[in-house]
Structure 1
């Protein structure tokens, strides 16, 4: 019983459970971003591709390419744990823009999605990808 309590209350971020949790968390989070938001932007699963908002008035081609990459390409990097902290930055750029610019005045039920994605990817930015990642393997070389 004492061992179980120690395991549950352990705050050591180097434990195996932490690395397994980071692996599962980054895979499920990124898959959800790809399926729920990325595929719609290229027209998969919908009758017509979703129009990418451009609240910062960037060149349209760049805005669309950046949003598509942030919702389709960079989450794949996060899944594999390949340059995770760098890959998270464009995702955060899109989600934080969605929260602070596009949905700031919307109802809480509308703006909670970019808020939660932003929190989750900020967590990965600070924690990194963990031991079960390409990043960890590259550090050992």
Structure 2
């Protein structure tokens, strides 16, 4: 039983990374395709930096950082842009939508905070690089 208890946190970290990173890719990849193929970009600009820079920052977070989570590479560092993206979505983009509009990004936010705190675990590239 003690051996299982030592492995549990690593399996949990792996599942969190695969689940939250993999699911976020399903949001980011369509945005990347849109950026690459659209003649004109239509995207929210919650921080006032412009639609295209906002989209690029979101794609970086949702594709690059989510991909790094799946691999377990620079895990804690990669979780930070995802946390920031979810904070912007919850507290700026969907501020007036109530819980119905904030529920999914809040769930992602909790997951990414968990990954930040838990770390990559033993089943990651980060662990192999030690």
Match of 1:40 among 25, 30, 43: 30
Match of 2:107 in 1: 116
Higher helix share: 2
**Aligned partners of 2:30, 2:49: CA distance in 1, in Å?**
21
1:89-128 alignment, distance < 5 Å: 89-128=80-119
TM-score, normalised relative to structure 2: 0.85
Residue in structure 1 matched with residue 11 of structure 2 by the alignment: 20
Q: Which has the larger radius of gyration?
A: 1
Q: How high is the TM-score relative to the length of structure 1? A: 0.79
In the alignment, structure 2 segments of 5+ residues that lack a partner are none
Q: Which runs of 5+ in 1 are unaligned?
A: none
Q: What SS does the aligned partner of 1:100 have?
A: helix
- What is the Cα-based RMSD across aligned positions, in Å? 2.3
Structure 1 pair 7–109 and aligned structure 2 pair: CA distance change class (3 A): farther
Tell me, what secondary structure is at the counterpart of 1:52? coil
- Number of equivalenced pairs: 126
Match of 1:55 in 2: 46
In the alignment, the residues of structure 2 paired with residue 59 and residue 111 of structure 1 have an alpha-carbon distance, to the nearest angstrom, of 23
The Cα offsets for residues 104-124 of structure 1, whole Å up to 9 and x where unpaired, read as 221312110111111100110
How many angstroms apart in 1 are the aligned matches of 2:120 and 2:74? Answer: 9
**Post-superposition shift, 1:7?**
8.3
